[in-house]
């Protein structure tokens, strides 16, 4: 596995699902990992379990509370990280939400919440971590997008639009900050996590039927791509979108 030495990594939305898998994968590769979690009952305990798992395997980790959609919260989170460990060397923007609605029936609040977490959250975390990276002369940003940001999806216009924005953000920022900071994205297909809890069974069955690999993905299918882009083995990659998606988008 790609080795990350003593890199300091921050993974947003790292208390469960893909984020947890990436946090544990980065720690296995040698990074110290901050496990971001949102405020709320039980969230701190779930994140602490991720830290316990990392530490029991010989790694170093800490929890870091912060609402990625709130500028003051994110700025405070980055300041806490830098006070504890120094510059963020690896930033993985993973925090996201997924809801389902046809656009004609979609509450405006659903659109706004999706944009706030899935797109604004990527901007905010990057905005406040980036100055330290640029000052140090190196860094890696890995944004978790989605294959739906490439191909779109019915009843997921808001999610598709946000993730498409993440992809464009990735490419534009890579041109702006390279070669000092590399910026890449991963665009997974549907993955078996709790984000799919609110997706209808009809949607699930239809998606499995159309995937060339004939199954939904797992967290383990996604993690190696994120770790690769974060580390030295991915040092010549910037502005790229890699898709562990079972052949869904084929872009």
Positions marked active-site: 159
How far apart are alpha carbons 47 and 164 in whole angstroms?
28
The DSSP result for 83-103, as a single string, is HHH-S-SEEEE---------G
Question: Rounded to the nearest 5 degrees, what angle is found at the Cα of 191, between the Cα atoms of 185 and 197?
Answer: 125
Ramachandran angles phi, psi of 17, nearest 5° = 60, -140
Q: Which residue, among 164, 143, 142, has the nearest Cα to 153 in the 3D structure? A: 164
How far apart are alpha carbons 241 and 124 in whole angstroms?
20
Sheet strand arrangement including 8-11: 61-65, 32-37, 8-11, 90-93, 139-144, 181-186, 241-242
Core vs surface per residue 143-160: b (16+ CB within 10 A) or e: bbbbbbbbbebebbbbbb
- Estimate the crossing angle of helix 157-177 against helix 121-136, to 10 degrees: 10
């Amino acid at each position: 596995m790609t080795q990350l030495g003593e890199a300091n990594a921050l993974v947003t939305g790292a208390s469960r699902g893909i984020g947890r898998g990436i946090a544990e994968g980065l720690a296995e590769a040698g990074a110290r990992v901050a496990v971001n979690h949102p405020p709320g009952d039980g969230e701190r305990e779930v994140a602490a379990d991720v830290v316990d798992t990392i530490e029991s395997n010989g790694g170093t980790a800490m929890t870091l509370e912060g609402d990625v959609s709130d500028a003051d919260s994110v700025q405070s989170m980055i300041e806490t990280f830098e006070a504890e460990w120094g510059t963020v060397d690896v930033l993985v923007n993973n925090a996201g939400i997924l809801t389902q609605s046809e656009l004609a029936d979609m509450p405006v609040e659903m659109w706004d919440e999706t944009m706030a977490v899935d797109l604004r959250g990527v901007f905010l975390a990057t905005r406040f971590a980036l100055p330290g990276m640029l000052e140090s002369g190196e860094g890696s940003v890995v944004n978790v997008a989605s294959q739906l940001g490439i191909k779109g999806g019915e009843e997921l216009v808001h999610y598709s639009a946000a993730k498409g924005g993440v992809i464009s953000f990735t490419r534009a920022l890579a041109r702006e900050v390279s070669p000092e900071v590399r910026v890449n994205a991963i665009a997974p297909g549907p993955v078996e996590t709790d984000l799919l809890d609110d997706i209808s069974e009809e949607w699930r069955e239809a998606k499995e039927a159309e995937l060339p690999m004939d199954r939904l993905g797992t967290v383990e299918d996604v993690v190696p791509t994120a770790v690769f882009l974060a580390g030295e083995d991915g040092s010549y990659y910037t502005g790229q979108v890699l898709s562990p998606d079972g052949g869904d988008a084929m872009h």
